[in-house]
Amino acid sequence: MPHHTSITAVPVSDEKAGPYGVAAGPDGAMWFTTVHEGAVGRLGLDGEITSYALPDGDGGPTVITPGPDGALWFTEYKGNRVGRITVDGEITAYERPGAGPYGIAAGPDGAMWFTEMHTDRIGRISPEGDLTEFTVPVEGGFPSAIAAGPDGRRLWFTLNQGNAIASIDLSGEVRVYPLPTEAAGPVGLAAGPDGAMWFVEIMAGQVGRIDAAGTITEFSLPDRAARPHALAAGADGAMWFTEWGANRIGRITVDGSQIDAYDIPSGSSEPHGIALGPDGVLWTALESGALGRIEAR
């Protein structure tokens, strides 16, 4: 357990811009989306901030992640697009009319996989830009976050309104695992260092774990109204998550025996995305206009 955890807010945008997703780039910088401004930003190692405006300022860029091609990939939920941005700021967009793309992750096959919340589908974009879609067998399930599994054969995703966790293999076969808690509202999801997938339940105030066989374990947070939103594996072997409704960052050991929470010094920060930086430090996107640097010692 860390003896001390400090959270420092680094302003990166206007407070109305709404930093939402955050990811470590191949250039050593932290990249982020500003959901209300319609831009992708970069926080360099030297502290320099660069913002790249998207063609559609109302597209609502949300989740961002590094791709296997040395670029960053992101979704535009309102604009119905999947975007790609190079470290030099060159932007390419792939239109997905009516899809509502949200989560996006690099798959073990070298392609980018993403969720389509409005169509109950999982999409795949090849390195050449070819698109394939796979239907999720849960109508109105609202597929949300997605992440590659540790076995190199499947990706996992949350069904926010379907109240389930699901996996999809590289051929498109989907398996659905209902949650024990009703109306839990799963959102964020990430691979853990223990070989399992971890997720958060925003409506139930819980953190969950699902192993390769589909066995689910749920851990209740001390504050069930914290509204956990996203999570990531830390360099310390634990899972870290944002508490969007409580202005805190949480930490849970992989055996579930220890859950801690750390207040964000600036009030009403609305922490959303969280990601591990190249230096082993965690970063979170604060919708109040900053990236939060989380240092655990």
For residue 297, the model assigns a pLDDT of 74
Catalytic residue among 3, 118, 229, 272: 272
Q: Which pLDDT belongs to residue 174?
A: 98
Q: What is the pLDDT of residues 192-241, one digit of tens each?
A: 999 999 999 999 999 999 999 999 999 999 999 999 999 999 999 999 99
Q: What is the pLDDT of residue 215?
A: 98
What does the pLDDT look like over 83-107, one tens digit per residue?
999 999 999 999 999 999 999 999 9
Note the pLDDT of residue 2: 58
Give the strand order in the sheet containing 49-53: 19-24, 30-34, 39-43, 49-53
Active site residue 272: yes
- Residue spans of the chain under pLDDT 70: 1-3
